[in-house]
Amino acid sequence: MIDLNEMAEQMYDVALKREEHSPYMNSLTSVELLKHLAGEVVEASMGYGLGAEPYRKELGDILCITMLLAYKEDFDIEAMLQETLDKNTNRANRTGDKL
């Protein structure tokens, strides 16, 4: 099984290299990553009607940036996802908040 936290660390290492060598990846601050994420969400919404492949690629970018943010903030990605699954399971069963 894939360790998402380990994968996020690998993504961060690649992002650091890109930051050194690319004018397109010039800041790994959390606020800049959030701005980049917002742009990718817009691109995904524009790619949605163009077929599965452009949309899939943009969703991959969104996942990658989200994992970079979690890694940078030292959040356990797998625990975050489990907490969200549990929260939504409770809501689906009408036992959580926001019924």
* Cβ-based burial of 45 (10 A; exposed 0-12, middle 13-18, buried ≥19): exposed
Helices (H), 73-95: 77-92
Interatomic CA distance for residues 3 and 38, integer angstroms? 26
What is the value of pTM for the model shown? 0.84
Contact of 45 with 55, CB cutoff 8 Å: no
pLDDT digits (tens, 9 = 90+) for 11-67: 999 999 988 887 665 688 899 999 999 999 999 988 888 888 888 999 999 999 999
CB atoms closer than 10 angstroms to residue 36: 19
pLDDT digits (tens, 9 = 90+) for 57-94: 999 999 999 999 999 999 999 999 999 999 999 999 98
> Residues with Cβ < 8 Å from 76, sequence gap 6 or more?
5
